[in-house]
């Protein structure tokens, strides 16, 4: 226990400042009311769905939890069920074998909800495109609010996308 | 020459690894497969090709590893009845590969007991074969989910837990069907294929460099290994060897990929064992590694760094110094963290004797890579056959025989330390000069690549026709290792499954292709 505590003390606090929002990532205008966004902003529950990714995006999504980005210090956490989620973080391309599972996950997520499509494949289909096995981008299967490009997008870019999704942006 | 006495006319394939190509009649396939097994060899990969445009039928393509060589057997099959003798009775790992082959190409293993589809979940009908050459690349079918008959376990108090495809954590999709009594797992059956993206078909519409990008995205966490194997295959066709500096830099990238992935696994293994401290510490170290990757190679996970002909970006002296400094820092941190893991009674209680895969079963299932080495299977392509620069570095292969989670954890620590040693040797011996050579134009032919990634060996079989990819099959080691997980979990309690699964850490994307 002594060495464990010593290691924690030696490591110190590594957490860096979070990014600013970026309106360029928004796909559709903010649909949610400011009051709801305020609630989300205080405590956002995210369900990650790998809908066909090469697992590169998952590597970076995992990194969001490391001490440098420290997602949970921003009031955000990954939850185990879509029923507990405010936001779906979806990587793609959506494989045809995951099409129904993604649709059902979306349906199981209570309203109001937000969807962030992750990675070049989630945004456009990427190197896999559309085929007998791939539906292409996430927006081809479920509605998307914010899309974060990159192969894979860095944790910083992911955080920017998530923060943009819950910011008021240009409200109607 | 490998397989002397088999009375096979074999052609040596040029390239970085010893590989032989031969044609085998279907009637001889089983005998040869047994012969390979008798010599301590194993089935490495199974795929198929549509040869009808060339006036033939189809062909089964099988790669065996025997006596530190790769033997590529091509088995011609009739166009109207493309059947070959079942290999799954000799090599159980052939089962899923054979089913995938039938789903994609419509070539059938005669006498196979398991006739269920594998990659086909209903996105295309049973009588359509998307990988056939006469099926256009943009052809799609309506998507209908078909029921899948899992093996039922019956008895008093037996019930099933279905898990997935969407899992509770941030992991890839797949379905696990547990048959349990109380907390004890009687049987686990995996159903994969959810992230099947039609990669083999996609390759056929790409040129060499487009193919290289795709090859780097078979399984994102093994991008260096798969793109090196692809590049090796392309270079084998071109008959060129990249400049030494390019090869040494590739090895530097491959070892850094190994370190990064092992660090992440050690963190999650601690976390799944109830020690969140481990996750925070190891993920911090992994972040340091990937940040330095971005600085020295331009990409956090080293995607598109290995290209056919060499490597895309040089690493200057300052970069090498930074890498060496990180090795020193990492070595110190690892020593502290390993002691903490080893001394933590709660963690060791979870690790020891959990998820045992004994060496005998591991051999029968052809388990390879890290999981294989933790169960006494001494396979490492960096050691045998070895290839430049590993032939100059003399990799020390780490082995364990316990085959439990603790062995797979210990091996990860050992392998990181060995990779640190290798990186120091690479930095010391790094040749100067060019980092890549140009590939000649109009490349046609076939080649093979074989590289030991962090999870295990990656094999890429490539056929080029006038600089276009004619056919490409990339084989991820997860094909062999997924079935072993079903065995390792038997008799354990359900809450230990995530820990056992993580200790194997297999790729869904790599096997679903």
**What global pTM score does this model have?**
0.95
Across the range B455-477, mean pLDDT stands at 96
pLDDT score for B8: 83
Percent of chain A past pLDDT 70, that is, above it, reads: 98
CB of B468 within 8 Å of a chain A CB? The answer is: no
Token digits of residue B123: 């996105």
pLDDT score for A119: 97
Q: Residue A170 burial by CB count (10 A; 0-12/13-18/19+): exposed, middle or buried?
A: exposed
Encode pLDDT of A26-53 as tens digits. 988 888 888 788 878 778 999 999 999 9
Mean pLDDT of chain B: 95
Give the pLDDT band of residue B67 (cuts 50, 70, 90): confident
pLDDT score for B4: 67
Encode pLDDT of A119-135 as tens digits. 999 999 999 999 999 99
Encode pLDDT of B110-136 as tens digits. 999 999 999 999 999 999 999 999 999
CB of A58 within 8 Å of a chain B CB? The answer is: yes
Higher pLDDT, A166 or B473: B473
Alpha-carbon gap, residue B483 to B471, rounded angstroms: 27
Higher pLDDT, B137 or A30: B137
Under an 8 A CB cutoff, do A132 and B198 touch? Answer: yes
Percent of chain B past pLDDT 90, that is, above it, reads: 96
Encode pLDDT of B280-293 as tens digits. 999 999 999 999 99
Alpha-carbon gap, residue B128 to B106, rounded angstroms: 8
CA distance A29 to chain B (A): 28
Alpha-carbon gap, residue A6 to A13, rounded angstroms: 13
Q: In chain B, which among 13-52 make CB contacts under 8 A with chain A? A: none
Under an 8 A CB cutoff, do A68 and B201 touch? Answer: no
Under an 8 A CB cutoff, do B170 and A61 touch? Answer: yes
Nearest residue to B454 via CA among B219, B285, B293: B219
Best of B166, B276, B342 to substitute, by most chain A Cβ atoms within 10 angstroms, is: B166
CB of A107 within 8 Å of a chain B CB? The answer is: no
Count how many Cα atoms sit within 13 Å of the Cα of residue B23 in the half-sphere of its side chain.
4
Across the range B292-312, mean pLDDT stands at 97
Residue B439, C-beta contacts closer than 8 angstroms, at least 6 positions apart: B208, B234, B235, B238, B240, B308, B309
- How far apart are the two ends of chain A, measured CA to CA in Å? 55
ipTM: 0.94
Under an 8 A CB cutoff, do B145 and A100 touch? Answer: yes
Across the range B94-119, mean pLDDT stands at 96
Domains of chain A, first to last: 28-165 (3.40.50.12280)
Domains of chain B, first to last: 1-146 (3.30.460.80), 199-512 (1.10.645.10)
Q: Name which of A38-47, B16-25, B420-429, B443-452 the model is least confident about.
A: A38-47
Percent of chain B past pLDDT 70, that is, above it, reads: 99
pLDDT over 50 (residue B1): no
pLDDT score for B176: 96
Encode pLDDT of B377-416 as tens digits. 999 999 999 999 999 999 999 999 999 999 999 999 999 9
List, in sequence order, the alpha helices (H) in B83-220: 94-105, 199-203, 208-215
CA distance B415 to chain A (A): 20
Nearest residue to A11 via CA among B279, B261, B418: B279
Across the range B338-343, mean pLDDT stands at 96
Token digits of residue A79: 């939850």
Under an 8 A CB cutoff, do B509 and A53 touch? Answer: yes
Under an 8 A CB cutoff, do B264 and A59 touch? Answer: yes
Under an 8 A CB cutoff, do B197 and A133 touch? Answer: yes
């Amino acid at each position: 226990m002594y060495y464990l505590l010593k290691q924690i003390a030696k490591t110190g606090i590594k957490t860096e400042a979070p990014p600013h929002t970026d309106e360029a990532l928004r796909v559709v205008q903010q649909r949610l009311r400011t009051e709801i966004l305020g609630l989300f902003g205080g405590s956002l529950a995210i369900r990650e769905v790998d809908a066909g990714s090469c697992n590169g995006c998952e590597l970076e999504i995992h990194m969001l939890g490391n001490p440098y980005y420290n997602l949970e210090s921003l009031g955000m956490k990954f939850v185990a069920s879509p029923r507990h989620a405010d936001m779906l973080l979806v990587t793609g391309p959506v494989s045809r074998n995951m099409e129904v599972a993604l649709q059902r996950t979306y349906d199981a997520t209570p309203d109001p909800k937000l969807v962030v499509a992750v990675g070049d494949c989630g945004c456009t289909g990427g190197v896999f495109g559309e085929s007998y096995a791939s539906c292409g981008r996430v927006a081809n299967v479920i509605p998307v609010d914010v899309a974060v490009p990159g192969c894979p997008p860095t944790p910083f870019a992911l955080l920017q996308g998530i923060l943009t999704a819950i910011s008021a942006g240009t409200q109607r | 020459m490998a397989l002397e006495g088999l009375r096979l006319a074999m052609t040596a394939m040029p390239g970085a690894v010893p590989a032989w190509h031969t044609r085998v009649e279907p009637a001889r396939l089983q005998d040869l497969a047994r012969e390979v097994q008798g010599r301590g060899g194993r089935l490495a990969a199974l795929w198929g090709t549509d040869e009808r445009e060339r006036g033939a039928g189809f062909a089964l393509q099988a790669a065996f590893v025997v006596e530190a060589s790769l033997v590529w057997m091509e088995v011609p099959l009739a166009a109207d009845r493309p059947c070959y003798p079942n290999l799954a009775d000799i090599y159980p790992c052939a089962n899923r590969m054979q089913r995938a082959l039938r789903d994609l190409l419509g070539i059938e293993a005669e006498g196979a007991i398991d006739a269920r589809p594998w990659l086909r979940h209903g996105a295309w009908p049973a009588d359509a074969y998307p990988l056939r050459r006469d099926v256009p690349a943009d052809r799609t079918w309506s998507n209908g989910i078909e029921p899948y008959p899992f093996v039922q376990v019956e008895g008093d108090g037996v019930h099933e837990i279905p898990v997935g495809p969407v899992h509770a954590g941030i992991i890839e999709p797949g379905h696990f069907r547990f048959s349990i009594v109380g907390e004890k797992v009687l049987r686990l059956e995996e159903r994969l294929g959810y992230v099947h993206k039609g990669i083999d078909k996609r390759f056929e519409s790409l040129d060499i460099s487009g193919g290289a990008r795709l090859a780097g995205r078979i399984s994102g966490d093994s991008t260096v290994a798969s793109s090196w194997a692809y590049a090796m295959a392309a270079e084998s066709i071109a008959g060129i060897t990249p400049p030494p500096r390019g090869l040494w830099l590739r090895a530097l990238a491959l070892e850094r990929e190994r370190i990064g992935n092992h660090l992440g696994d050690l963190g999650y293994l601690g976390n799944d064992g109830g020690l969140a401290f481990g996750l925070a510490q190891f993920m911090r170290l992994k972040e340091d590694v990937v940040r330095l990757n971005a600085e020295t190679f331009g990409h956090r996970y080293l995607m598109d760094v290995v290209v056919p002909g060499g490597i895309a970006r040089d690493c200057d002296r300052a970069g090498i110094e930074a890498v060496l400094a990180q090795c020193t820092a990492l070595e110190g941190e690892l020593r502290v963290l390993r002691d903490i893991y080893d001394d933590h009674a709660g963690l060791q209680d979870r690790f020891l004797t959990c998820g045992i895969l004994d060496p005998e079963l591991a051999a029968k299932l052809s388990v390879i890579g890290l999981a294989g080495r933790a169960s006494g299977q001494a396979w490492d392509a960096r050691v045998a056959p070895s290839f430049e620069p590993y032939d100059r570095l003399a990799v020390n292969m780490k082995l364990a025989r316990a085959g439990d989670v603790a062995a797979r954890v210990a091996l990860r620590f050992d392998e990181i330390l060995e990779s640190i040693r290798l990186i120091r040797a690479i930095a010391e011996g790094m040749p100067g000069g060019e980092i890549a050579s140009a590939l000649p134009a109009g490349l046609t032919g076939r080649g093979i690549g074989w590289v030991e990634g962090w999870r295990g060996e990656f094999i890429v079989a490539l056929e080029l026709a006038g600089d276009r990819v004619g056919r490409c099959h990339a084989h991820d080691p997860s094909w062999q290792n997924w079935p072993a997980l079903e065995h390792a979990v038997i008799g354990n309690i359900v809450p230990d499954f995530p820990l056992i699964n993580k200790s194997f850490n297999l790729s869904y994307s790599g096997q679903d292709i």
